[in-house]
Amino acid sequence: MRNLVRSRNFYLMLLLDASLVAGAYYLAFYLRFDGDIPEGFLWLFSRSVAPLVVLKILIFFAFGLYRGMWRFTGLNDLRNVVAASLAATMTMIVYFTLLGRALGFPRSVFVIDFVMTLMFVGGARVAVRLIMNRGSGLPEGLWGADRSRKRIMIIGAGNTGEKVVREMMDSPAMKMRPVGFLDDDRGKLGKAIHGVPVKGVTTELGKFQHEFDEVLIAIPSVKGPQMRAIVAACDKVGKRYRIVPNIGEVIGGQISIKTIRDVRYEDLLGREEVSLDSALLNRIYRGKRIMITGAGGSIGSELVRQAAKYQPAALGLVDFSEYNLFQVENDSRRRYEYIPVEAYLVDIRVERAVRRAFAAFKPDVVLHAAAYKHVPLQELNPREAIFNNVKGSRTLVRIAGENGVERFVLVSTDKAVRPTNVMGATKRVAEMFVECMNGGERGAGGCRFMAVRFGNVLGSSGSVIPIFQEQIAKGLPVTVTHPEVTRYFMSTAEAAQLILQAGAMGEGGEIFILDMGEPVKIADMARDLIRLHGLEPDRDIPVRFVGLRPGEKLYEELITEGEGIKPTRHEKIRVIRGRHTDCPTLNAQIDDLIACAETSDHAAIKAKLHEIVPEYTPSK
């Protein structure tokens, strides 16, 4: 309250409310007696008005009517006004009863006073909001057109559409003015939200193309086919179109017009928003020291952002790339000032460096996302794949068990299933070592070791989307390996969220499989991306097929026969418990594999991989 009374605006608000309350009280008498107040009641009014005004103002304080800014008055503020006015009226009745003056006092004055107080106090706040926001996005004709503002047509007259319109009106600096809604629910046609009319359905966008400058898609849960239809309609009118992202993509959990972005391929993919067990995630990760390897990579950096939601005691960022580590450390310190962040420039292949990082950070949870993952490069450099994906992972698992880590989650890949390439085979060996460390039960030192297997991540470094986008931007043909090649895809945010969910569910020894939905034809993806750039595939930009690269398959799998997949309590996560190799045998095989890698004999490396992973069939 001390801060409030120092404000000049506060005094004006207080004076206005006091005047309105006194006026409402007088008007109650005036209306009750049809403009001719008897002398006795006029005397009663004059003696009681001052204490009642003070009493009501104090009640308004108690209900928080002076905490908000009137220019942003909303429904919550009006609800508070109703509650405060009702409480003031009840107090007024008690006041007169205690003074013994209720007898003979006109009961209707209480009712009229309540109504007048509500109208005056609530109306004043609404009037201030209308005046302060004059012309800030309201339709033409109400306040008049503001030509400096960009005219926005909003697709989706739902909760999200209402929020962005309200934000446009409350924030004149955004220079946006909503001119209408389009919605496929015909029951909304002819209605209005905050004075903005619902003009038609989505397919009628072209009919209104001269009324707007830009389209805003405000349907965060829109599915792939519907989004494709919306994008096609926007392409026809030739105007810029953007989208409000779904809440799972927004770290702060608040959808805002400030988060709008251009439509991306993941929007066309139309994957449903991830539902998480927040209570479980908070129980497992809150207050824990979480170490993330490969923290500068696509998955690693998203794991950092998602893990920060659960208020860990500290975040330990491990990466071999100085630049990537610098980027993710700076971003984390800027975003999460309340969380201690420690960065470790460490090569996981060097055991002493890993031990130093563990000794310094003392993690409770390790999320292991560091890996070499580019299939053709690993085919050409199998030695490095063995050192990083196998030796480095084994080193991390062993040290985690020795240092009392509670949970260790290996980020794996669908390429580990019936692998035809070195990368997939090395990740399968890492999965096997994680399994054997548990022996099917709790692992070394009580640690729960588990793996999470999923497909490709949209927009990750080296994925096809950035490559296609670069080719389109330069006007080059988009190169696809094969007309029938398919892959599973999910967004980085979805992958990171489900990794955390699976890691929290694990008891140890599991391989969790993320639901990747339906596989996507890469050729279809290429054509969709060309259209997102406002071009026509095979007319403006050709699609050229160049043949499969070394180690690549036409399609990927998430499970292999005999693994025994089972559902979990989460609809997007399944689990398998594969055959468990005893650790001494597997350790000896890995030692032999590392010895082969040191000779750089590619044939010997692949032969040893086949011995450890019999389902591995090297591509010719």
Distance CA 302, CA 307 (A): 8
DSSP strands (E only) in 253-406: 261-262, 289-293, 314-319, 341-345, 365-368
Please, which residues have CB within 8 angstroms of residue 142's CB and are 6 or more apart in sequence?
195
Mark whether 415 is an active-site residue.
yes
Distance CA 351, CA 445 (A): 19
Distance CA 317, CA 328 (A): 8
Catalytic-role residue among 415, 427, 553, 572: 415
H helices present in 256-297, as ranges? 265-269, 278-285
DSSP strands (E only) in 214-300: 214-217, 240-243, 261-262, 289-293
Contact (Cβ atoms closer than 8 angstroms) between residue 456 and residue 519:
no
In the Cβ-directed half-sphere of 151, how many Cα atoms lie within 13 Å? 15
Distance CA 214, CA 242 (A): 8
User: Within a 10 A sphere around the Cβ of 566, how many other Cβ atoms?
Assistant: 11
Please, which residues have CB within 8 angstroms of residue 529's CB and are 6 or more apart in sequence?
265, 465, 468, 469, 472, 478
3-state SS class at 17: helix
Contact (Cβ atoms closer than 8 angstroms) between residue 371 and residue 429:
no
Burial class (CB within 10 angstroms; exposed 0-12, middle 13-18, buried 19+) of 254: exposed
Q: Any idea which residues carry the catalytic annotation?
A: 415
